[in-house]
Amino acid sequence: MFIIYLYFSHHETSVLSNEIKLRGEAICNNLATSAEDLLVMKDDLALAKLVYDTKDNNKGVMYSFIIDQNKTIWAHTDVSLINKKYQPPSGLKALHDEPILTQPYTMTDKTDVFEIAVPIMVGKTKIGAAYVAMSQAAIQSAVTQARAGVAFVTIVILLIGISGILILVSIIIGSLGNLTKDIEAIGNGDIDRKIITPRKDEIGRITHAVRVMTKKLKKAREELIEKERMKKEMQIAKEIQQTLLPRSLPQIPGLNIDAYYQSAREVGGDYYDLIEIDKDHFGILISDVAGKGVPGSLVMAMTRSIIQIEALKNTSPHQLLTMVHSTLSKDTPEGLFITMFYVVFDLEENEMRYCCAGHNPAYLYNCKNNILTSLKPEGPPLGISLFDEKTFAEQLIEEKRKLDTDEMLFLYTDGVTEAMNSAKEQFGEERLESIIKEHGSLKPNDLKNFLKTEIEAFTGKEPQSDDITFIILQRVIPDITALQND
């Protein structure tokens, strides 16, 4: 009842404050509109009549006045202030660019008011301002009445409640004593305790509810133990999956490389790798399993195993992906498939060959010319049994091109572009391309951190909907000193 008492006091104050402020704002808006032409013509008599009418015709208005753009008072219900400069009282801020400004204020006679200010505009030009003060006396009166009513109801309810409690206690105290002991035992961990009562009234129903609660509590404890076991196993799976990703970035003369990976769940279906094939060839791949969680991570692990073995035997992206598809299509469950973008760099020729197996396009950004090129040769996803090895090989296209100095290659999974904010808007390719063009000249580590920050700022507190992975590779002039030392 004390909380209800406080609530009604606050509620009445809030509602009446809003009503008074809304009424005052309407009066002040009307005063500002009526004063536009009069202030332009500097008709001080008409302005004086306007502010007096505003006070006389609207209950609760304590004072009103009009100032020009130089803050000179042209009309005021207190004539002694006319032609003086208006200075906001202590604690109130002046009206600037606000369309309306409402502030609580205590006058010198201790009267609480809301002072409301509205700019007087001619077109888009501010020529002055209108002020109206609305009394808060009605709020105090209404709150006092509400408090008196709640206090009366409180006293009545307390008297009835105490009488009822005294009667009920004498009837049910005996059975409740035994039930209390049973509940205390359950609270101390004795979930197998049997609760028995012959009563069919409310006490009996309570006893039955406690028995049901005990059964559910026992089941919940078992489920909690199982969840903790699963959580621990998932944590172990996450740690294992982390070991499948590159532990460190290779140091290759002429190439700056950085990568980012964040799974949407404990384990994910995204996979990237950086493969030193031989002294003249270097492989980089990024892939996405169509599925998250444990199934996706298992398929990802299987894919990685195949690639780790076969990539060292083959410098052709087309041949490698064809072989990987042939193996996966026999073992991948229905409904799961893998998209992949694989690039092999010829370090001697500064040339890269690449294939795209149903994956997102890669971006090639030329820092000197500010040109962003989308790389997406045709190719079906890996692991779909509908494509036999021959059909897959025919549809998979391999392209090649030079990688010039100060060019940057960006590979990513759809978790980047499909990251969503609270309005269900996606980060999108257009926003990603804009970031690459504006900041593609940064070092890979700096660009990684910038893009990560942009995605986090875009999604806010929305949970991550998909794994996010991207790789940044930038070709630079090799450090001659480092090469000589090597």
Residue 483: per-residue pLDDT: 45
254-290 as b/e, with b when 16 or more CB fall inside 10 Å?
bbbbbbbbebbbbbbbbbbbbbebeeebbbbbbbbbb
Whole-number average pLDDT of the chain: 85
Predicted confidence at residue 266, as pLDDT, reads 58
| Region 433-453 average pLDDT | 94
The whole-number pLDDT of residue 271 equals 86
Report whether pLDDT(175) > 80.
no
DSSP 437-467: HHHTTS-HHHHHHHHHHHHHHHHTTPPP-S-
Percent of the chain with pLDDT over 90: 43
pLDDT at 482 over 50: no
Q: What is the pLDDT of residue 406?
A: 83
The span from the CA of 204 to the CA of 201, in Å, is: 5
**Contact present, 413 and 468 (Cβ < 8 Å):** yes
Domains and CATH numbers, the chain: 2-135 (3.30.450.20), 245-485 (3.60.40.10)
Please tell me which residue, 435 or 142, carries the higher pLDDT value. 435
Contact (Cβ atoms closer than 8 angstroms) between residue 212 and residue 195: no
174 is written with which tokens? 């005996």
Q: What is the mean pLDDT of residues 361-386?
A: 93
Are the CB atoms for 406 and 368 separated by under 8 Å?
Answer: yes
- Which pLDDT band holds residue 240 (cuts at 50, 70, 90)? low
- Angle (nearest 5°) at CA 180 between 175 and 185: 135
Query: Structure tokens of 455?
Result: 């995605």
Q: Count CB atoms within 10 A of the CB of residue 244.
A: 16
More confident residue, 229 or 365: 365
Tokens in use for 480?
A: 């001659």
Position with higher pLDDT, 109 vs 203: 109
Average pLDDT over residues 128-152: 80
User: Which of 245, 299, 233 is closest to 269 using CA atoms?
Assistant: 299
Of 110-119, 332-341, 371-380, where does mean pLDDT reach its minimum?
332-341
Q: How many angstroms separate the CA atoms of 416 and 428, rounded?
A: 8
- With contact defined as beta carbons under 8 Å apart, do 477 and 248 qualify? no
Distances (CA, A) of 263 to 267, 286, 354, 452, 460: 6, 14, 25, 13, 17
pLDDT digits (tens, 9 = 90+) for 245-276: 888 888 888 889 999 998 876 556 788 999 99
- Report the C-alpha gap between 117 and 99 in whole angstroms: 9
CB 31 within 8 A of CB 50: yes
pLDDT at 247: 81
| Cβ partners under 8 Å of residue 119, min gap 6 | 32, 95, 98, 99, 126, 128, 129
Would you say 182 and 193 are in contact if contact means Cβ atoms under 8 Å apart?
A: yes
Mean pLDDT along residues 313-323: 92
Q: Kindly give, in sequence order, each residue whose CB lies less than 8 Å from that of residue 28, ignoring residues fewer than 6 positions away.
A: 64, 100, 116, 117, 118, 130, 131, 132
Q: Which residue has the higher pLDDT, 451 or 237?
A: 451
Q: What does the chain come to in residues?
A: 486
454-469 residue pLDDT tens: 999 999 988 888 889 9
In this predicted structure, what is the pLDDT of residue 471?
96
Q: What is the pLDDT of residues 188-210, one digit of tens each?
A: 767 666 766 666 667 777 777 77
pLDDT in tens, 1-60: 777 777 777 777 788 788 888 988 999 999 999 999 999 899 989 999 999 999 999 988
What pTM was computed for the model?
Answer: 0.54
* Residue 142 in this model has a pLDDT that exceeds 80: no
**φ, ψ for residue 94 (rounded to 5)?**
-80, 155
Question: Which of 72-76, 209-213, 232-236 is the most confident on average?
Answer: 72-76
Question: What does the alpha-carbon distance between residue 47 and residue 64 come to, in Å, rounded to a whole number?
Answer: 11
Under DSSP, the state recorded for 267 is: S
Confidence at residue 284, expressed as pLDDT on a 0 to 100 scale: 94
Please answer whether residues 343 and 283 qualify as being in contact, where contact means their C-beta atoms are separated by less than 8 angstroms. yes
| φ, ψ (nearest 5 deg) of residue 45 | -65, -45
Quick one: pLDDT at residue 242?
Answer: 67
Task: For residue 201, give the 3-state DSSP assignment.
Answer: coil
pLDDT number for residue 291: 61
The pLDDT tens digits for 377-423 are 999 999 888 889 999 999 999 999 998 888 999 999 999 999 999 99
Residue 424: which region, alpha, beta or left (left: phi > 0; alpha: psi -120 to 50)? left
What backbone phi and psi angles, to 5 degrees, belong to 114? Answer: -105, 115
Closest CA to 29 of 115, 113, 120, 114: 120
- pLDDT bracket for residue 481 (50, 70, 90): very low
Helical residues (DSSP H) of 114-187, grouped into ranges: 137-187
The Cα–Cα gap between 469 and 465 comes to 13
Cα→Cα distances 138→13, 429, 448, Å: 10, 58, 60
